[in-house]
Every structure is written in C-alpha cells, then in structure tokens.
Amino acid sequence: MLKHNFLLWSGVQHVHVPVQLPIVIFNGRNRSSKVAATAVSNLSTNSAPGIELSSSESRSSFPIFDNPSEPESTPASGLELADPDFYKIGYVRSVRAYGIEFREGPDGFGVYASKDIQALRRARVIMEIPLELMLTISRKKPWMFFPDIIPIGHPIFDIINSTNPETDWDLRLACLLLYAFDVKDNFWTLYGDFLPGPDECTSLLLATEEDLLEMQDQHLASTMMQQQQRALEFWEKNWHSAVPLKVKRLAREPERFIWAVSMAQSRCINMETRIGSLTQDSNLLVPYADMLNHSFQPNCFFHWRFKDRMLEVMINAGQAVKKGEEMTINYLSQSRNNSYMQRYGFSSPVNPWDVIHFSGSAKIHLDSFLSVFSISGLPDEYYHNSQLSTDTENFVDGAVLAAARTLPTWTDGDVPPIPSIERKAAKELQDECQQMLAQFPTNARQDQQILDNLPEDRRPTLEAAIKYRLNRKLFLEKVIQTLEIYQEGILF
C-alpha cells in the first residue's frame, strides 16, 4: 500500500490527512474505464468520513478524466505568439528546404520537386533563406548593407560610393561579391565554388567580339560591347597600380571583375525589403534561390518575410507539382528575347512577349484571330483556352501568343471582317516575315546544323549566340505558320 498526503477541505481549515490508496496496475496503454472507476470508488471508500477530496487533487491523480480547464487570462492573452524562428535571431541560420532537391544537369543546377505536391488554396513555402547568408545593398544612397560585412574605412566602400546611383547597381554588387570572397569564414567563400566559372557562364559580358557578331543582331552586339567597355574602364579606374593590396587582390585581372559583374547581373534579385522599421529597394544575391531557372509559366515566386528577415520561395496558390518537376520563376516580366540575352545570356523561341516590327499597312481582325486559336484574356494576360477548341491545342504556344500581341490588328465594334480582305492582309504579313528571314545570312536549318556540329569544348557564349539567332528565325517561321492557319480558319 502507498501512503500520500492530500490537501483536504474540512470546514474552514486546510488539513493534511494520510490516506491509503489501493495500487492499481494498468496494462500498457490500455486503461479501461472499469478499472479506473474501481480505483475512484476505492479511493472514496477509504477516505475519512465527512471529508471530501479537493477537486484539484483529484485532477492530479487522474487527469485523463478531468474536464479541460479554461486557460488562465493574462495581460498577454490578446497578443500573438512570436514565431519560433524569432528566438534564432542573432545566430547564424541555415537554409531550409521543403519537398525539393537540387540537381545538376548539362545546363547547370536546377531545383526539382522531391515528391508530389498537391494544389492548395494558399501559397506554400518550399525554401527559406535567411538574411545572414545573403549579400544585399540598397539601390539608393546612403548605401546600406545587410549583413554589413564591410568594416569602417575599408577602401572598397570608397569604390562603391563612386558609382552612379542610377545605373551602376551591378558594379556595386560585383564589388561586394568580390569582397565577400575575401572575408575569412564568410559563407560566400564556400558557396562561390557552386557558381559557374568564366568558362561555364553564358553571359555576353564574357563573350568575344566574334561571338557577339554570331548573334546576327548588330544593335545587341553593339550594346554588349559598350557594357564590356564600361566594366573594363571601371576596373582600370579603381584597380590601378597604386591601389592598396587588400583591394588589388580582389580582382588582379579585369576578367575576374567582369565575371563578378556577370554574376551580379544574372543572379541578382531586385525587390523591396523591410528590416525592422526600414523599408527600401535592394539588390540581393540570394544563395540557393539563384539556382531556380526561368519559365514564362513559373510555378514559384519570391516573398520577403520581414518579421524574421527571410526570403521565401513559394509555390503559386492552386499549383500542383509532380515529383521530379522543375521549380521555376519568371526572371523578367513582359520582356523580349534581347533583354534576356543581354542580362542572362539565353533566349527562347516561345517567348510570349517577343516582338516583330512590321512596316507595311496590312492589318488583320483581332477578334477573328483570337477566335481561331482559342486565345482568351486581355492583351497583357493572353492565354490559350483549351476548353474552347482542341483543333490547335498542340500548335498554340508562347510564340502564337506573341503573334497575337505583335501582329498589326484592327477592331471596330460589331463590324465583321471580310474574308477576302483578311486573307490578303494575312498574305502581306507573311511576305514581310519572309523578307525578314531572307536578310539573315543563314537559315534555321543551317543554324541547327552548326549547333549540332559544335565541339564539346565550345564556348558557352558562342552556343548562346547561335541559339539566339536560331530562336529569332523560329519565331518568324512560327508567325508565318500561324497566319497560314488563320487564313484557313477565317469564318465566312
């Protein structure tokens, strides 16, 4: 038998009375109500007559049978509990990933789903990157860095401060990146091993003049030559022979600095951040998130979580992702291929925002064109509505959506198009596209053969340049095919 002292109530005094309790043995997790009832009955029988057990003591003996008590009201009851990550502020935090994995392919790293992800009504987080691992700089003066790794009086700050606040964001970020590589035990000294080297990067800043001419786009080639000269002049100005060693060792050769500028341009995220009470536009280099590749129909987006200074990568609400599917974001909104080529070094034949400049007066009826290809939505939100028709389901892609935006069109209320005039206008637009194709020194088939015959040790910039001109020709050919189908599908 066990003896316990219980707090009992008798009249107006609290007394301690020794009470003998029976030993009740429970077999594993199965505590039957019959055994429990017997224990309670024995307890009340063995109690002293005229004395009632305190309700608080009965709860401590058999809490499983007690009614849930009301939460105690405190001055903080009406406040929201702090996020658990709040208690980690001040410590070096790590990246968190949920349901994804990083894989490396022939074109570099990518992020892929490691399991099936069901569609939810709310966006869900798949990656969290803390501020402590990033490199950030404000887009306007005064220059602010989070985390602030540049000590007071370091000459690299004077170099950053000499840049143009309106146009030189990439030069500032390149200086910050090079300095981070030189800081002992800094995260970027290790993460830099996963960045593409000069011989792996497709940025046109690293391209030779011959590679730039291979694009068969004189305007873009001239623009990139000016960008290369701008970066070279900045290096010559600030990495001269009299510069201190702690700055000179960051980029002893101009190629090193130009590579850093290419990393800043191709991996920078521009967004508004809030840190404490400070809200500002910032340029960010975010590790791991920069592994996400581009798509014109992305399944992810970025979100800044200010309460614990995290960048979140989130799946779109209502988006289902299958295992092995790539997680993507949209690098630039509503931009042409030349913009992607200038900053990132790639292009696409199905860019829905690519443009063709027509010089003739021919126009086609907009509503008829959209109806033939089952395109719905406003011009900025065109999409193929497969539920309306399946005849052209496999044909309609981003290039057809771009054609709907770039082809000269007309619309006049309820005035229907005249089929003969529509066919004539479509034919004139086709002829103009054929003239544009004839101006190229090579055709799409020849470009594809050149790509197939490139050696394995080819320069990435040369391959990107040939793909750029090939994609331009494929886009023009797609528009010609689109106009051919439109002529056949005009309603009488």
State pLDDT tens for residues 327-378.
999 999 999 999 999 999 999 999 999 999 999 999 999 999 999 999 999 9
CA-CA distance, 216 to 447, in Å (whole number)? 11
- Joined tokens for residue 197: 């080297």
Instruction: Please tell me the least confidently modeled range out of 61-70, 127-136, 206-215.
Output: 61-70
Report whether pLDDT(457) > 60. Answer: yes
For the chain, give the percent of residues with pLDDT over 90: 65
The whole-angstrom separation of Cα 223 and Cα 23 is 89
List the one residue out of 207, 199, 234 whose CA is nearest residue 223. Answer: 207
What backbone phi and psi angles, to 5 degrees, belong to 113?
A: -75, 130
Contacts of 392 (CB under 8 A, 6+ apart): 372, 373, 374, 485
**Gap between the Cα atoms of 139 and 271, Å rounded:** 10
171-216 pLDDT tens trace? 999 999 999 999 998 889 989 988 999 999 999 999 999 999 999 9
Name the token pair of 451: 């790509």
Q: Over the range 426-447, which residues count as b (16 or more CB within 10 Å of their CB) and which as e? A: bebbbebbeebeeebebebeeb
Q: 81 versus 206: which is more confidently predicted? A: 206
Burial of 293 (0-12, 13-18, 19+ CB in 10 A): middle
Strands (E), 240-296: 268-275, 278-285, 293-294
Distance, in Å, from the CA atom of 55 to the CA atom of 243, rounded to the nearest integer, reads: 81
Element containing residue 482 per DSSP (H, E): helix 460-489
Single-letter residue type at 299: N
* Beta pairing, strands 293-294 & 328-329: parallel
Q: Which of 50-54, 258-262, 440-444 has the lowest mean pLDDT?
A: 50-54
Would you report the helix, strand and coil content of the chain in percent, each value rounded to 5? 40, 20, 40
pLDDT for 158 beyond 80: yes
Cα distances from 31 to residues 18, 38, 46, 197, 296, in angstroms, run 26, 12, 22, 66, 60
φ, ψ of residue 321 to 5 degrees: the values are -125, 130
Asked if 130 and 309 touch (Cβ cutoff 8 Å), the reply is: yes
Tokens of 357: 């400049």
Interatomic CA distance for residues 143 and 159, integer angstroms = 12
**If you average pLDDT over every residue of the chain, what do you get?**
83
H-state helical runs in 344-397: 366-372
For tokens 């690293």, the residue is 206
**Among 1-15, 67-81, 370-384, 448-462, where is mean pLDDT lowest?**
1-15
As a whole number, mean pLDDT of residues 454-458 equals: 91
Q: Please, which pLDDT band fits residue 72 given cuts at 50, 70 and 90? A: low
According to DSSP, the residues that pair with 275 across neighbouring strands are 278
Q: Which residues are within 8 A (CB) of 46 and not within 5 positions of it... i.e. 6 or more apart?
A: 19, 20, 21, 22
Inform me whether the pLDDT recorded for 429 exceeds 70.
yes
Mean pLDDT of 292-308: 95
Nearest to 291, CA basis, from 266, 319, 316:
266
φ/ψ region of 97 (left if φ > 0, alpha if ψ in -120 to 50, else beta) reads beta
Nearest to 231, CA basis, from 252, 262, 208: 262
- Is pLDDT of 15 > 90? no
Question: For 322-326, what is the mean pLDDT?
Answer: 91
CA atoms within 13 A on the CB side of 486: 35
What is the band of 93 on the pLDDT scale with cuts at 50, 70, 90?
confident
CB neighbourhood size of 221 (10 A):
19
Q: Measure CA 423 to chain center.
A: 43
- 103, β-bridge pairs: 110
160 secondary structure, DSSP code: H
Distance separating the N- and C-terminal Cα atoms of the chain: 101
H-helix or E-strand spanning residue 449: helix 444-452
Average confidence (pLDDT) over 418-439: 95
